[in-house]
Structure 1
Amino acid sequence: MMKFVFDLDGTICFHGQPVSETLLKCFEDLVNENHEIIFASARPIRDMLPVIHQRFHKYSLIGGNGSLVSTYGSITHIESFHNAQVLKVLQFIEEHQATYLIDSDWDYSYTGPLDHHILKNVDASKLAKQVPIESLMSVVKILILTANDMENLAEKITNLGVVIHRHRNENVLDISPQNIHKWNALKQLGVKEKQFIAFGNDANDIPMFKKAQHTVMIGHHDDLAQYATETIPLEGNYEEKIVAKLKELAFGQLIN
């Protein structure tokens, strides 16, 4: 048995569409052979559900870059910012006239442009409530969407002892609490170092790539590449290449 961990967007979920039936069927084939499938995304759990078919919702899910863990359909682990950090971020947001998407474990607050591309992925299934920031019981993830002087704002926020990710081709600050990443969340699920295979495409996959037995980078990311065992380019029928690679890893020589 092997554990397979998959990032979503840009890895098995493309152009804002749900994970394809081609890939889902392959995952089920792996599970039927006693392998385990785990999904790990920058999205909060709420926004992972619309792109994963309902029959997978009880699988282990890691959301918010590791701040949320869901098993058997329920959120079982939450890591949030300290209140003092949230208050400071809100001060900086006001100073820089920034707009944001701020998530609790389920509900959210949004002040960004109505035409921002990220908005189409926010609560697509209408599972949560959009509320004022002061109504959120806790904060697990902050996205700064627009700001006056984004670089200076990023520097100020970094000094608060938080983690900032910048996703490829997006001028967005993706902020998580300190020590929150996908590997720490995998440990919450009992995953051991060098006992899983990871598929990813972006810098926020680095912590889990470092600890995996085998890693597959989808597309190319300069920072992630040095931790990738191999790469599947995003060209041609890349989904079929992912399926073929999964079958090779699950049933081939690597883990026999």
Structure 2
Amino acid sequence: MQFVFDLDGTICYRGQPLTPPMIACLESLRAAGHEVIFASARPIRDLLPMLPKCMHGYGLVGGNGGFVHREETSLSVTCLDLAITTSILKIMQQYEADYLIDSDWHYSYSGDPLHPIVQNIDPHKLANNVPLEQLDNIVKMVILNSTDTTKVQAALEQLPIVIYKHGSEEIIDISPQGIDKWTALQQLGVQSGMFIAFGNDANDIPMFRHAAYSVCVGDHAGLLALATDHVAAVEQQVISTIYEIANTDRLAHILPRV
């Protein structure tokens, strides 16, 4: 069975890497013959530091589907169209937006140096924060705040892109049209109705729609409407749920062909 895990807020918390108990739990899945895949909003650059080295070769989806990685090799990087990028930047300029923009490796950040997102950006200093005009191959854009978030979102919705607004926060994620976690998972051989998904936010909805069994970590309304199961965003409870689902009898109930 394939198990697909979002990272932040699902199996790791407050920007910290996976803990030893969570690592042991996930390694137990591998030892039992299951495949573990990670699917995150983080670019691969920021996803890898969350994982122990032994998991860097696992199937990885980053940037909400913009990056697909396996065996420590990039399988694909999907960039925003140049004309669309120009339109987004005009909207951001009009509403004085602070941003985090990722290319295939480097990034440009214009926000408050004390913003909570800063702790998640390139923690191992593997890339460079460069002026926006020096970025090529833009994969993902994040608007942190602006003078009018409602108008920014309305303007963005007129463009052929994928956007996610995170709960009550002002943060808006922007990805290329047709790109999400589910489209990326298919590149890793994941089939609809044949995997188990864990997630906590709107960007997990596409993969929840195709999972055989899905677990909403926390209380996101959109995910709860689709989820098979629900668990609090408490590490030990999440670990217990993973172990419970991995029980042979439980898996046979979820997917009789396993």
Runs (5+) with no aligned partner, structure 2: none
**Corresponding residue for 2:78?**
79
Deviation per CA, 1:132-154: give whole Å up to 9, x if none.
12222211110011211111111
Offset of residue 236 of structure 1: 8.3
Which segments of structure 1 move beyond 6 Å, counting only runs of 4 or more?
Answer: none
The residue correspondences of 1:95-174 to structure 2 (distance < 5 A) are 95-174=94-173
Contact 2:231–2:238, Cα closer than 8 Å, also in 1: no
Instruction: Quote the Cα distance in structure 2 between the aligned partners of 1:115 and 1:235.
Output: 26
Instruction: Tell me what 1:39 maps to.
Output: 38
Report the counterpart of residue 8 of structure 2 in structure 1.
9
How far did 1:244 drift? 2.9
Q: Distance in 1 between matches of 2:81 and 2:25?
A: 41
The verdict on how the C-alpha distance between 1:249 and 1:153 changes in structure 2, with shifts beyond 3 A counting, is: farther
Deviations 1:99-140 (A, max 9, x none): 100001211011111111101100001111111122222111
Deviation of the 1:251 alpha carbon = 6.7
CA–CA separation in structure 2 for the residues paired with 1:161 and 1:132: 25
Alpha carbons 2:79, 2:176 under 8 Å: kept: yes
Alignment-derived partner of residue 245 in structure 1: 244
- What is the rounded CA distance, in whole Å, between the counterparts of 1:20 and 1:27 in structure 2? 11
CA contact (8 A) 2:197 2:211 kept: yes
Secondary structure, aligned partner of 2:166? coil
Q: Deviations 1:192-229 (Å, cap 9, x if unpaired)?
A: 11111101111111110111111111111111111101
Q: Which residue of 1 aligns with 2:23?
A: 24
User: Once the two structures are superposed, what CA deviation does each residue of 1:53-92 show, in whole Å capped at 9, x if it has no partner?
Assistant: 1111111100000110011112211111100011111111
SS of 1:184's partner is helix
Range moving further from structure 2, 243-252 or 51-60: 243-252
| 2:101 aligned partner, one-letter code | I
Partner in structure 2 of residue 176 of structure 1? 175
- For the residue of structure 2 that corresponds to 1:211, the secondary structure is coil
Q: Which residue number corresponds to residue 90 of structure 2?
A: 91
After TM superposition, the score normalised by the length of structure 2 is 0.94
Letter in 1 for 2:20: E
Q: Offset of 1:95 from its aligned partner? A: 1.1
Partner secondary structure for residue 183 of structure 1: helix
Q: Secondary structure at the match of 1:80?
A: coil
Is the 8 Å Cα contact of residues 199 and 216 (structure 1) preserved in structure 2? yes
Tell me: CA distance 1:236–1:148, structure 2 relative to 1, closer, same or farther (3 Å). closer
The corresponding residue for 1:185 is 184
Distance 2:13 2:159 in 1: 33
Q: How many equivalent pairs are there?
A: 255
Q: Residues 236, 177 of structure 1: CA spacing in aligned structure 2 closer, same or farther, 3 A cutoff?
A: closer
Shift of 1:240: 3.8
1:55–1:11 Cα change, 3 Å: same
Contact 2:67 2:74 in 1 (8 A): yes
* Residue of structure 2 in register with 1:56 after alignment: 55
Other structure's SS at 1:65 match: helix
Kindly provide the CA deviation profile for residues 150-189 of structure 1, in whole angstroms up to 9, marking residues without a partner as x. Answer: 1111111121111110112421111111111111001111
**Is this contact kept in 2: 1:30–1:250, CA < 8 A?**
no
Identity between Structure 1 and Structure 2 (%):
43
- Partner SS state of residue 186, structure 1: helix
Deviates more, 1:189-198 or 1:231-240: 231-240
RMSD over aligned CA atoms reads 1.6
Structure-1 separation of matches of 2:35 and 2:216:
19
